Amino acid sequence: MRTEKEMYDLVLNFAKNDQRVRAVGLNGSRTNPNAPRDIFQDYDVVYLVTEMESFLNQPDWIAVFGERLIMQTPEDMTLFPSELRTRYSYLMLFSDGNRIDLTLVPVEEADQYVNEDKLTKILLDKDEIFPELPEPTDQDYWVKQPTSQKYLDCCNEFWWITTYIAKGLWRREILYALDHLNRYGRPMLYQMLEWQVGIETDFSVSIGKSEKYLERYLEAGNWERLLTTFPNASYESVWQALFNLIDLFRDTATCVANHFEYQYPKDWDQNISTYLSQIKKLPHTATTFS
């Protein structure tokens, strides 16, 4: 596997020798002082360029970075709509295990780019277009304190979604139930847990993409409780995971409410908890709800 120095040399030497590239930026976990270092960290590189057409017309130029196992160019894909508009990205995984996510950005967007993310670090600036930047920080990604309305919205969405999960379980539509559990219900629990972490850390940490750092900050007991909200593919297991999800959400939401002196919606909790218990007991052949 090529070393970090070899990868940086490769990226910078190409940029230094190509007049189209006027500056090189770095973002992501490699500039984040709080991100753990390991062999799977990407090199999130930006080339600020005078024009992009010549790069796009000669796609083989990226061969300089090494033998690729696979590459993705999101702006060319129809399965997912492009988000970058004037920019173009190459996501490259190499045979030695290194990965570069390289984005071409028009040099005219330099001011916009440098202000998008506090994790930005400038590696090369041929024309001295950038001011001296402060040390990278993940502050943009720290957990944010909720307003009372946002807190209430989270509670409302959580309790609303539990009814879909129960409906899917009663109908014996396990994929529907699992989808609503994991795609819609679980994110509300994560949000509430993040706010609790924020309270305990004075809102000075990031939980990371897909909540990957959440285990660092949860008490061991709550981490174990969270793991019990992941079911196997059986109806009884999903029911139990749902009730575990509810118990953890209730306890966490109550703590968050107490801290901010918000009102936890006990009526939604009581009403929907009773409703879910009734659905679980309802015979699958029932034609009316009682």
Other C-beta atoms lying within 10 Å of the C-beta of residue 71: 14
Tell the CATH topology of 142-281.
Four Helix Bundle (Hemerythrin (Met), subunit A) (1.20.120)
Fold (CATH) for 4-137: Beta Polymerase; domain 2 (3.30.460)
pLDDT tens digits, residue range 157-198?
999 999 999 999 999 999 999 999 999 999 999 999 999 999
pLDDT over threshold 90, residue 204: yes
Is 288's pLDDT higher than 80?
no
Backbone φ/ψ region at 171: left (φ over 0), alpha (ψ -120 to 50), beta: alpha
> What are the residue boundaries of the structural domains of the chain, listed by start?
4-137, 142-281
- Contacts with 146 (C-beta within 8 Å, 6 or more apart), sequence order: 154, 195, 256, 260
pTM for the full predicted model? 0.89
The number of residues making up the chain comes to 290
Check pLDDT > 80 for residue 81: no
pLDDT of residue 290: 60
Domain 4-137 and domain 142-281 have a common topology? no
Q: What is the rounded average pLDDT of the residues 23-50? A: 95
- What are the tens digits of pLDDT across the range 97-118? 999 999 999 999 999 999 999 9
